[in-house]
């Protein structure tokens, strides 16, 4: 996958400033995953958020428009991902997707979890057998409409 030039620029500046996504999230009062999604062109910053990030990263002010223009979301190539971490999420959905769908629909009915009214958190859970990744997804339930 080839990264957009804006993504490369933002990631390079973040690295040069030795900042984490958490640091930048704290600066603009947003979650670290949301900031990362902005860097990857999957979120839209307000003008104030864009201005703060540009200042923190010491980037040109003309990038504010790029950061505050709504992107084309979900534009990854429609192929099986090759990055091992992303592939594991794909694998999780292949193995557990239908079971999760059934459990969600048993609890809520026929519908979907919103990816618009949605949040995600990534945490580290220390474990003597090896640290664990805790991913929490929280999306509004949207029932299918009957007509």
Active site residues: 88, 91, 114
CA 43/CA 48 separation, integer angstroms: 14
**Angle at Cα 75 formed by Cα 103 and Cα 6, nearest 5°?**
130
CA neighbours closer than 13 Å in the CB half-sphere of residue 84 = 0
Task: Give the tokens for residue 119.
Answer: 């949040």
DSSP letter at 4 equals P
DSSP letter at 119 equals E
């Amino acid at each position: 996958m080839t990264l957009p030039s804006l993504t490369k620029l933002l990631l390079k500046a973040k690295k040069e400033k030795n900042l984490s996504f958490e640091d930048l999230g704290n600066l603009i009062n947003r979650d670290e995953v949301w900031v990362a999604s902005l860097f990857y062109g999957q979120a839209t910053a307000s003008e104030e958020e864009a201005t703060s990030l540009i200042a923190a990263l010491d980037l040109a002010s003309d990038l504010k428009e790029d950061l505050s223009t709504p992107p084309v979301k979900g534009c990854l190539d429609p192929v099986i991902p090759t990055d091992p971490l992303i592939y594991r999420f794909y694998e999780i959905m292949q193995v557990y997707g239908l079971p999760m769908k059934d459990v969600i629909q048993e609890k809520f009915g026929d519908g979907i979890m919103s990816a618009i009214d949605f949040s995600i958190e990534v945490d580290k859970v220390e474990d003597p057998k090896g640290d664990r990744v805790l991913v929490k997804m929280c999306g509004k339930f949207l029932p299918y409409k009957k007509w």
